[in-house]
Amino acid sequence: MKRRATFSLAAISVGSLILAACGSSGGGGGGGGNTSNAAFNAGVNSVVNPSSHKGGTITFDDSSTPDSLDGGNTYYAWVLNFNRLYQTPLTTYPSAPGKGGEGLVPGLATNTGTVSSDGLTWTFHLKKGVLYSNGSPVTSSDVKYAVERTFDRSVLANGPSYFQVLLGGNAATYPGPFKDRAKNLMGLTAITTPDASTIEFHLKSPYPDFPFVVAFPQTAPVPPSADSGANGGSNYQQHVLSTGPYMLQSYSINKQAVFVDNPHWNPSWDTQAKQLASKIILNLNVNANDIDQRLLHGDIQVDASGTGVQAAARAQLLSNQNLKKQADNPLAGFLWFVYINTVVLPNVHCRRAIEYAANKTDLQTAYGGPVAGGNIASTVMLPITIGYKKFDLYEATTKPTGDLTKAKSELQACGKPSGFTTGLAYRSDRPKEVSASQALQAALARVGIKLQLHGYPSGTYYTDFAGVPKFVHSHGLGLAIGGWAADWPNGNGMMDALANGNAITSSGNANISEFNDTTINNLFNESNKVGLSASARNALWPQIDQRMMSLAGILPEVYAKSLIYRSPTLTNVYIQPYYGMYNYAVLGTK
């Protein structure tokens, strides 16, 4: 959907990743070698234009808006990447290209956490002396409050719901601090702070991947005093206090955000970020094709979305060798796909008809073809995710233009031999999704399935439209186009938010298919048992994947690749494998 990762670690356990990361230096910038010579794909496994030069301005453009610049209220991949410039969670991902960027390292915490013998309590200690951008000290209570505030989905509707699902104590009923601060401030009993630098998370059941959960900026500290009144809640994004190298100078919603150096930042507090440029400008709601041309002409340095150039610029880059050498074509770590809602379309045979009738070649073309778009997908899990197993239930790769005979047979089985009508949601400000929705509409029409297209803006797509089950049901949105990258690099990180029944939320919902299947839920529960070996755990992920596909709640489109233009004026440029785009936290400019 919104989030993030790509890792080439098919045989490595998550536990070994964490242990390896704990023993690493965590330095920002090594791992794949350095180069100052522009070349196609030079930024995939090496640092292009390494430099410690300070000064200058880096300008980002985005074709839409962030879901929020508040780390506690975001779930978009590029925003999570951009957030590293000004907020610091307890753990984070290494700033290095290639394999050097794989794993997990400390962020605000001194390590990636320690767990009790029963798997129920995770403890983190904060680094000493960390200050906010206003000079006040960071405490463990601020981290606790940062998590507490995310419990009120009526105020902070974005972001993952792991804390609400995983924590014990009163987490199931805790309303968050906004409605009654006198009663609920610091009232979440599942998080304790024995002292100003220690924070403990008490889970209701073991969850081995919890160190990855606290890597979300939901654990970036927020002082309660800064999150109240007119400046609090959903408005905090306009006044966010920084713990990173930059601080927010101004934010005009839907137009522009400007960041400048945080004078109180110490590089030892976050070795994965740098303070090189003097100013960071983020322009919003810029036409996607205009962004490409502004990049090529040097007017801006970064397309914030990180998903690659549009068709016109793609043709320019691939046909001009001087331009092509300034481009990278990484695996983006995303699956582009279509949610098929199991409540709006409750008959599995109707859903399977959609799977068979889709023209995957046309969908691949809509995303940019095999080079810039990606490879035709047949699974929910990415081929580079721990636990991946190849299978193809609906002939996506063997009959990529669709199998109309089988589609019609499924329509017969679902009692709709002439087809049916349903709605399709997509993000209207994303040209690739516009093209994909039109391609799917044409393909399904061949068997009588009529799609009514409904375009919505990216910034509120999940909070107001596709991610709101009540809205989806009342508007008959049987399908919704989305993109997803693993929340962390294994099958659990890829699929939990998409398919676990306990992940369904009233707004900002990622389980838009509304899977609540006993078999799937039990497999997730099995994966979290204390003492389960890494190999046994990894063997569960393809079982969940195959069950999801058997229920036809997801129509995979492509395993995404991006053709990204690398501005020659940038320094320290490389693809961070977790985000599948340039690492925004370390960029400088010549």
Q: What is the pLDDT of residues 336-381, one digit of tens each?
A: 999 999 999 999 999 999 999 999 999 999 998 998 889 999 999 9
- The separation between the first and the last C-alpha atoms of the chain, rounded to the nearest angstrom, is 34
pLDDT for the residue 372: 80
Q: Domain boundaries in the chain?
A: 14-282+567-589, 331-561
CB of 11 within 8 A of CB of 490?
A: no
pLDDT for the residue 22: 34
pLDDT at 17 over 50: no
pLDDT interval class at 455 (50, 70, 90): very high
Instruction: Write the pLDDT tens digit of every residue in 37-56.
Output: 689 999 999 999 999 999 99
What are the CB-based long-range contacts (under 8 Å, 24+) for 440-443? 440/338, 440/358, 440/359, 440/362, 440/363, 440/479, 442/359, 442/362, 443/357, 443/358, 443/359, 443/362, 443/402
Instruction: Write the pLDDT tens digit of every residue in 161-174.
Output: 999 999 999 999 99
The rounded distance, in Å, linking the Cα atoms of 84 and 142 is 18
Instruction: Write the pLDDT tens digit of every residue in 240-293.
Output: 999 999 999 999 999 999 999 999 999 999 999 999 999 999 999 999 999 999
The rounded distance, in Å, linking the Cα atoms of 456 and 461 is 6
pLDDT at 28 over 50: no
Instruction: Write the pLDDT tens digit of every residue in 382-423.
Output: 987 888 999 999 999 999 999 999 999 999 999 999 999 999
What is the residue-averaged pLDDT of the chain?
Answer: 92
**SS3 state of residue 565:** strand
**SS3 state of residue 481:** strand
Tokens of 112: 């990636």
pLDDT for the residue 13: 34
pLDDT for the residue 496: 94
pLDDT for the residue 1: 36
Q: What is the pTM of this model?
A: 0.83
- For 569-580, what is the mean pLDDT? 94
pLDDT at 179 over 50: yes
The rounded distance, in Å, linking the Cα atoms of 51 and 589 is 9
- For 309-331, what is the mean pLDDT? 93
- For 143-160, what is the mean pLDDT? 96
pLDDT interval class at 198 (50, 70, 90): very high
pLDDT for the residue 9: 30
The rounded distance, in Å, linking the Cα atoms of 463 and 286 is 21
What is the percentage of the chain residues whose pLDDT exceeds 90? 86
Task: Specify the pairing of strand 554-561 against strand 331-340.
Answer: antiparallel
pLDDT for the residue 35: 63
pLDDT at 18 over 80: no
pLDDT at 319 over 50: yes
Domain spanning 14-282+567-589: CATH superfamily: Periplasmic binding protein-like II (3.40.190.10)
Cα dihedral: 261, 265, 270, 276 (round 10): 30
Same fold, 14-282+567-589 and 331-561: no
Which residue type sits at 334? F
Greater confidence, 491 or 577? 491
pLDDT for the residue 332: 80
DSSP string for residues in 269-300: G-TT----SSEEEEE-S--HHHHHHHHHTTS-
The rounded distance, in Å, linking the Cα atoms of 444 and 446 is 5
pLDDT for the residue 331: 79
Give the angle 381-383-388 at the CA atoms, nearest 5°.
60
pLDDT for the residue 333: 80
List the helix and strand counts (H, then E) for the chain: 20, 25
The domain over range 331-561 is classified in CATH as 3.40.50.300:
no
Tokens of 387: 């636990």
Per the rule left: phi > 0, alpha: psi between -120 and 50, beta: everything else, 229 is: left
Helical (H) or strand (E) element with 374: strand 374-376
The rounded distance, in Å, linking the Cα atoms of 143 and 199 is 8
pLDDT for the residue 36: 63
pLDDT at 11 over 60: no
The rounded distance, in Å, linking the Cα atoms of 385 and 387 is 6
pLDDT for the residue 6: 31
Which residue type sits at 385? T
- For 294-303, what is the mean pLDDT? 97
Cα dihedral: 513, 337, 488, 2 (round 10): -80
Helical (H) or strand (E) element with 405: helix 404-413
- Cα Rg, the chain, nearest whole Å: 23
Q: Which residues, 6+ apart, have CB-to-CB distance to 176 below 8 Å? A: 148, 149, 150, 151, 152, 155, 184
Give the angle 459-460-462 at the CA atoms, nearest 5°.
115
What is the percentage of the chain residues whose pLDDT exceeds 70? 94
Tokens of 539: 């063997």
pLDDT for the residue 371: 82
